[in-house]
Every structure is written in structure tokens, then in C-alpha cells.
């Protein structure tokens, strides 16, 4: 199969086992990248690193070291390429944060929006709780660049069953953006999960009030009424 067909299996059909079988003897750089992505999705970070290294994908190599908790190795890989790869600056910022080091590298609004949740989620999957605690413990460092950080944090905590912490951050987010319907909706979902139906209903109503016709909230209100 050619590269386009393999990419179709990866992005559309997500048939990772078949791809690994088809590419097991390949020596082409693009195939190493695909295999690295597959092993990363499967949380086999060591194998992902091996294939990214063979492909010469140094940002991905540094990222693998970071999510594995090898912060010094990650830093040594990413520092030389930070001018070429903006995403390297994002990971280096996180590393400096975790290591309690003063940093002259700062994240952008879009880096926080696009990468923060997925990276924290990956750290959860790999059991890197100490790193997560360090990052979330310094959440104010993100606020100056993106004030929605409390909502992002709450959502990833909620998805990993840290409900009380998620509630705290959702309420903090509402202190900043009370008229954000998504935050009210997420708080309603959290209360619904805890079987606090009255509180959940109030939050769904607020979500609809601040953004009239907010579909997720309208749907939930109908479910509760029924």
C-alpha cells in the first residue's frame, strides 16, 4: 500500500494493527512517523520514541521524553530546536514550571487552548500525577495568557473523576467569565454525575440564559424534565 492508503487507514479507519503489519519491514521515513503516532496513541511511549528518532522527528522525541517524566532529557532535545518548532517552547515552558525554574519562555493563548488539555490528559493516562500536580498547582502562571485555563483544567479533571477539584475550578472560571455557557453546562454535568439534579438544572438554565438556545443545555433540560 502507498502512503496515501496508509494514511487513510490511520486517520479514517484507525486500523492500527493492520498498519503495523503492513509497515513492519518498511524503511521509509514517513512510515516511521505513522508508526510513532500509533504507538503514542497506544501509550507505548518507548516504541513511539524509537520510531520518531528513526524519522528524525526531534520535537516528537522530546515530547515522548516529557510525558514519560524524563524532563532533563526532554529539555536537552527540545532546547536546540525551540526556534524552529514553536511547540517546543510550549513543552519547555511546562518543564520549567515543573522544575521550579525561572523561564524566559512563555506560552501563547492558542498553545494553551490547543495543547493544555490534551497534554494533561496524556500525563493522566501515563500516571504522571506528580507532574500534573506541579502544573495545576501553578495555574496562575497560565491565567495571564489565557483566562479560560480554569475551565480547561476543570474539564480534564472531571474527565478523570476528580470531581471536587473540577467543581472548584469551574466556579473560579465563572468568577472570571460568568456569561460563558459552556462553563455553566460543565458544572451542570458535574452535578448531574453526582445526582444533584436540582443544582444541575439550575446550571443548565443559566447556560441557556447567558446564551439563549444553547443546544447542549436545552437538550439536558429536556432530559431532566422527562
What is the per-residue pLDDT across 16-72, written as a single tens digit (0 to 9) for each?
A: 999 999 999 999 999 999 999 999 999 999 999 999 999 999 999 999 999 999 999
Length of the chain: 226
CB of 103 closer than 8 Å to CB of 84? no
Q: Domain boundaries in the chain?
A: 1-56, 58-146, 170-226
Helices and strands: H and E segment counts in the chain: 15, 0
Average pLDDT, the chain: 96
- First-to-final CA distance of the chain: 52
CA angle 209–217–165, rounded 5-degree value: 100
| Phi and psi angles of residue 69, each rounded to the nearest 5 degrees, phi first | 90, 5
Any idea what DSSP says for residue 162? Answer: -
Q: Summarize pLDDT for 127-165 with one digit per residue, the tens.
A: 999 999 999 999 999 999 999 999 999 999 999 999 999
Cα distance between residue 186 and residue 192, in whole Å? 10
Neighbours of 109 (CB within 10 A): 12
pLDDT at position 226 is 79
CB of 198 closer than 8 Å to CB of 224? no
Single out the residue of 83, 68, 82 nearest to residue 119, CA to CA. 68
CB of 131 closer than 8 Å to CB of 123? yes
Fold assignment, 1-56: 1.25.40
Q: Residue 225 — pLDDT band, cuts 50, 70, 90?
A: confident
Neighbours of 102 (CB within 10 A): 5
Amino acid at each position: 500500500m502507498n502512503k496515501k492508503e496508509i494514511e487513510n487507514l490511520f486517520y479514517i479507519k484507525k486500523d492500527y494493527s493492520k498498519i503495523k503489519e503492513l509497515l513492519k519491514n518498511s524503511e521509509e521515513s514517513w512510515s516511521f512517523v505513522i508508526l510513532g503516532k500509533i504507538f503514542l496513541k497506544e501509550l507505548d511511549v518507548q516504541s513511539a520514541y524509537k520510531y520518531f528518532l528513526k524519522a528524525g522527528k526531534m520535537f516528537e522525541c522530546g515530547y515522548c521524553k516529557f510525558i514519560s517524566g524524563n524532563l532533563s532529557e526532554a529539555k536537552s532535545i527540545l532546547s536546540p530546536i525551540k526556534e524552529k518548532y514553536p511547540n517546543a517552547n510550549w513543552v519547555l515552558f511546562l518543564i520549567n514550571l515543573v522544575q521550579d525554574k525561572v523561564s524566559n519562555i512563555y506560552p501563547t493563548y492558542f498553545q494553551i487552548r490547543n495543547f493544555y488539555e490534551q497534554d494533561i490528559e496524556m500525563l493522566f493516562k501515563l500516571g504522571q500525577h506528580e507532574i500534573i500536580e506541579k502544573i495545576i498547582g501553578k495555574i496562575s502562571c497560565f491565567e495571564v495568557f489565557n483566562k479560560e485555563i480554569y475551565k480547561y483544567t476543570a474539564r480534564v479533571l472531571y474527565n478523570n473523576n476528580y470531581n471536587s477539584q473540577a467543581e472548584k475550578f469551574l466556579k473560579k472560571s465563572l468568577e472570571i467569565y460568568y456569561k460563558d455557557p459552556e462553563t455553566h453546562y460543565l458544572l451542570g454535568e458535574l452535578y448531574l454525575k453526582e445526582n444533584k439534579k436540582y443544582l444541575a438544572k439550575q446550571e443548565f438554565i443559566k447556560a441557556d440564559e447567558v446564551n439563549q438556545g444553547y443546544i447542549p443545555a436545552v437538550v439536558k433540560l429536556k432530559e431532566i424534565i422527562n
